Amino acid sequence: MLPIQEQALLALADGTVFQGISIGAVGHTVGEVVFNTSLTGYQEILTDPSYARQIVTLTYPHIGSYGVNAEDVEARKVHAAGLIIKDLPIRASNFRETMTLSQYLQREGTVAIANIDTRQLTRLLRTKGAQNGCILTLPAGESITQADRDRAIELAQAAPSMAGLDLAQVVTQGGITEWTETEWALGTGFGEVKDAKYHVVAYDYGVKRNILRMLASRGCRVTVVPAKTPAADVLAMNPDGVFLSNGPGDPEPCDYAIESTRQIIETGVPTFGICLGHQIMALASGARTFKMKFGHHGGNHPVKDLDTNQVSITSQNHGFAVDEKSLPANLRPTHISLFDGTLQGLARTDKPAFCFQGHPEASPGPHDIAYLFDRFTALMEKKNA
Which residues are catalytic, by number?
275, 359, 361
R_g of the chain computed on alpha carbons? 21
342 touches ligand GLN (CB under 6 A): no
Residues composing the chain: 385
Question: How near is the Cβ of 251 to ligand GLN at its closest, in Å?
Answer: 6
Span near ligand GLN by CB under 6 A; candidates 69-77, 236-244, 317-325, 347-355: 317-325
At 241, the amino acid letter reads: G
Q: Does 50 bind ligand GLN (CB under 6 A)?
A: yes
Q: What angle do CA 112, 25, 13 make, to 5 degrees?
A: 45
Question: How far is the first Cα of the chain from the last one, in angstroms, to the nearest whole number?
Answer: 59
Q: Which of 7, 317, 344, 363 is the binder for ligand GLN (CB under 6 A)?
A: 317
Answer yes or no whether residue 320 interacts with ligand GLN by CB under 6 A: yes
Q: Which is nearer to ligand GLN, 246 or 285 (CB)?
A: 246
Answer for the pair 29, 150: CB distance below 8 angstroms, yes or no.
no
- Output 317 or 363, the one with its CB closest to ligand GLN: 317
Contacts of ligand GLN in 267-286 (CB under 6 A): 275-276
Least distance in angstroms from the C-beta of 50 to ligand GLN = 3
Q: Does 276 appear as a known binding residue?
A: yes
Q: Give yes or no for residue 365 binding ligand GLN (CB under 6 A).
A: no
> What residues does 322 pair with on adjacent strands?
289
Q: How far apart are CA 307 and CA 354, in angstroms?
A: 14
Instruction: Candidates 106-114, 190-198, 316-324, 361-369: pick the segment binding ligand GLN (CB under 6 A).
Output: 316-324
CA–CA separation, 212 vs 193, rounded Å? 11
Closest separation in Å from C-beta 168 to ligand GLN: 8
24, 64, 82, 249: which one binds ligand GLN (CB under 6 A): 249
**Size of interface with ligand GLN, in residues (CB under 6 A):** 11
Residue 318 engages ligand GLN in binding (rule: CB under 6 A):
yes
Q: Are 239 and 151 in contact (CB under 8 A)?
A: no
Give yes or no for residue 360 binding ligand GLN (CB under 6 A). no
Shorter beta-carbon distance to ligand GLN: residue 319 or 364: 319
Q: How many CB atoms lie within 10 A of CB 176?
A: 14
User: Which lies closer to ligand GLN via its Cβ, residue 319 or residue 352?
Assistant: 319
Of the ranges 61-69, 75-83, 223-231, 246-254, which one interacts with ligand GLN (CB under 6 A)?
246-254
Q: Is 109 annotated to bind ligand?
A: no
Smaller CB separation from ligand GLN, 28 or 318: 318
Minimum CB separation from ligand GLN for residue 49, in Å? 8
* Binding window for ligand GLN (CB under 6 A); candidates: 39-47, 217-225, 303-311, 314-322: 314-322
Among residues 20, 273, 299, 319, the one that binds ligand GLN under rule CB under 6 A? 319
Burial state string for 106-136 with b = 16 or more CB within 10 A and e = fewer than 16 = bebebbbbbbbebeebbebbeeeebbbbbbb
3-state secondary structure string, 51-66? HECEEEEECCCECCCC
Distance, in Å, from the CA atom of 378 to the CA atom of 369, rounded to the nearest integer, reads: 15
Decide: 47 and 97 in contact? Cβ < 8 Å: no
52 Cβ partners below 8 Å, 6+ apart? 79, 80, 81, 167, 170, 171, 206, 248, 249
Residue 345 found at the interface with ligand GLN (CB under 6 A): no
The residue range among 117-125, 242-250, 259-267, 301-309 that interacts with ligand GLN, by the rule CB under 6 A, is 242-250
Instruction: Tell me how far apart the alpha carbons of residues 234 and 62 are, in angstroms, rounded to a whole number.
Output: 44
30: enclosing H helix or E strand: strand 28-36
Residue numbers at the binding site for ligand GLN (CB under 6 A): 50, 246-249, 275-276, 317-320
Binding-site residue set for L-glutamine: 50, 247, 249, 276, 279, 317, 319-320
